[in-house]
A = this chain, B = another copy of it.
Amino acid sequence: MRKLLNAEIKKIRLNPEKTKEITRNPITLMLDNVRSLYNVGSIFRTCDAALAKELILTGFTPYPPRAEIEKTALGAVETVPWRYFKSTAEAVEKLKNEGNKIIAVEITDDSRKYDDLTFDDFPLCLILGNELTGIDNDILSLCDSAIEIPMYGVKHSLNVSVAAGIVLFEAVKIWKSIKNSNT
């Protein structure tokens, strides 16, 4: 077993010129009042890897161009479609009108497990909230439902970019298995 060389990996990756033509996964990620530039940069990178449809940045979440975001995103700012909305509530309404189910990633009194997504949940927009306070209850009340990652330990939460990676790759896996079972 040996590591593939960068040149070998490049051959099996999506050509940058083709990113605009291809069908992206019907999964949008929204970051509501996320504070850290590094988390935003890391999440751009994850959205590229998962071929997420779009990254929505709202409230005081920092947005490009910012050197720190681009440093952590390693080029993914150019490959992932993104929009900024000052108002999270307006962003949620807009994404709903565009046909998405709006699903909060949050520990609520009515959350499903993060791997319980079904066909009816797609296309979906997953919302992650602030590093300390999560998603505000007034935004939660606009969401169609909520999912949560089970926490088996002593602490209450994951870093927001880690949580984003877990829910995004799980959603992609579920979407691909739905697609495959329908063809």
A positions within 8 Å CB-CB of B: 1-4, 6, 9-10, 13-16, 19, 25, 38, 42, 45-51, 72, 74-76, 79-80, 104, 106-110, 115, 134-135, 137, 140-141, 143, 145-146, 149, 151-159, 161-166, 169, 172-173
What are the residues of chain B within 8 A of A151 when measuring CB–CB? 13, 49
CB <8 Å contact, A48 and B3 = no
CB <8 Å contact, B3 and A106 = yes
CB <8 Å contact, B166 and A169 = yes
CB <8 Å contact, B153 and A169 = no
Partner of A161, one of B16, B79, B157, B162: B162
For the complex of A and B, list the 10 residue pairs with the smallest distance between their C-beta atoms, beginning with the closest: A48-B153, A51-B152, A162-B165, A42-B159, A1-B110, A79-B154, A16-B154, A1-B108, A49-B151, A166-B169
What are the residues of chain B within 8 A of A51 when measuring CB–CB? 152-153
Q: Could you name 18 residue pairs across A and B whose Cβ atoms are closer than 8 Å? A: A1-B143, A10-B156, A13-B155, A14-B152, A16-B154, A19-B154, A45-B155, A45-B159, A46-B158, A47-B153, A50-B152, A50-B153, A76-B154, A79-B154, A152-B172, A161-B162, A162-B164, A163-B165
